[in-house]
Amino acid sequence: MAIETRGLSKHFGRQAAVDHVDLAVPHGTVFGFLGPNGSGKTTTIRMLLGLAAASAGSVTLLGQEMPGRLHDVLPRVGALVEGPAFYPFLSGAANLHRLDAASPHTVPATRRRRVQRALERVGLEHAAGKRVHAYSLGMKQRLGIANALLSPRDLLVLDEPTNGLDPQGTREVRNLVRSLAHEGTTVFVSSHLLAEVDQMCTHAAVMSVGKLVAQGPLAELRQAGSTRLRLVTPDGGAARQVLARLGLMPEPGQAESGQAGPGRAVTGQRAQPEGETIVAELEGGAQPPAVLPEDVVAHLVQAGVRVRGFAVERESLEDRFVALTGEGFDVAQ
């Protein structure tokens, strides 16, 4: 594992900011670290990098125990945490030269070439000579990523890397992260932007109130959610009777009384000009479907129900994470 924690905790007085987190980040993945603001993401990252001491638990980074092997591990790790900080009246290139010179592990002879390449990789070569105080927030964010890329890295840790970027800049960072992973670098991305994580990451973990509530391949996290069917028909009453017989919703009259039907409850319904839309839960997480979608249609048609629309919808990434955390996420910038 590129990153592994066991029982990682951080307390501030009686408050547990991070509570017994067992994180496992496979090598070569783009790993999304998700959670609402205040869920403990940045505190966890600071402990991973040795910037904050853990109250309990252990951290292994690139196979080495932290913080004991910090000086051996950190040269192999690039990081952008809590936003970049630079000398405002120096140019972007001059800032990178200074930061690179401050590291005892870099080679002075290759510095100029490495700085130029890092600026090119984040699309800042045109602003290399511009003073940083004139940079936009997005440009400063890119410069921070360039700093993390000055030397070859086995692990890249990025805290909200697309913060302040316009759509084009966001797309460029996304492509950059993918190319780094393709080259073998493990990229650990902390974010609250679900759309970006969905397009960028292969794996993810979800934090809520200091606890890790889910982790694994992104496809598995999606599959853990429910699957619904959406039916549009002018024969709502007859359709509900069929769905009730199939165990997909309560028997007519039971929903109002709160009694449990033989199957799962209807999740919502609304009137439309072209007919009534009925949404019912087909399967929930690991549960097998009560009946196959094509069989539902066959039963409806056999009962004389006119079907004007029928769709199978899997729970979205946003739905799944809101269910896990009980809070909303930003889904776009």
Are 7 and 87 contained in the same domain? yes
Neighbouring residues of 264: CB distance < 8 A, sequence distance ≥ 6: 247, 248, 249, 280, 281, 284, 290
Average pLDDT of the residues in 71-94: 88
In a domain, 182, yes or no: yes
- Taking residues 234-259, report their average pLDDT: 73
Task: Measure the CA–CA gap between 302 and 295, rounded to whole angstroms.
Answer: 10
Q: Is beta strand 77-80 parallel, antiparallel or unpaired with respect to 155-159?
A: parallel
pLDDT band at 252 (very low <50, low <70, confident <90, very high): low
189 within some domain: yes
Q: For residues 126-146, give the mean pLDDT.
A: 89
The mean per-residue pLDDT over the stretch 308-323 comes to: 73
CATH of residue 42: 3.40.50.300
Task: Give me the residue label for tokens 């900080």.
Answer: 85
Backbone angles phi, psi at 181, to 5 degrees: -65, -35
pLDDT at 142 over 90: no
Confidence of residue 288 (pLDDT cuts 50, 70, 90): low
Looking at the fold, whether 74 and 147 belong to one and the same domain comes out as yes
The secondary structure of 194-231 as a DSSP string is HHHHHHH-SEEEEEETTEEEEEEEHHHHHHTSEEEEEE
For the chain, how many structural domains are there in total? 2
User: Which of 205, 222, 239 corresponds to the end of one domain?
Assistant: 222
Do 41 and 60 fall into the same domain? yes
Q: Give the CATH number for residue 260.
A: 3.30.70.100
- Mean pLDDT, the chain, whole residue set: 82
Amino acid type, 97: H
Please tell me the predicted confidence (pLDDT) of residue 328.
Answer: 52
- For residues 176 and 145, is the Cβ–Cβ distance under 8 A? yes
Domain that holds residue 233: 226-314
- Cα(200)–Cα(31) distance, rounded to whole angstroms? 9
Q: Which stretch of DSSP H or E encloses residue 120?
A: helix 111-121
- Model's pTM, two decimal places? 0.71
Distance of alpha carbon 75 from alpha carbon 61, whole angstroms: 12
What is the structure's pLDDT at 91?
Answer: 95
The per-residue pLDDT for 327 is: 56
Q: CA dist 196 to 30, 47, 172, 193, 208, Å?
A: 12, 25, 12, 6, 19
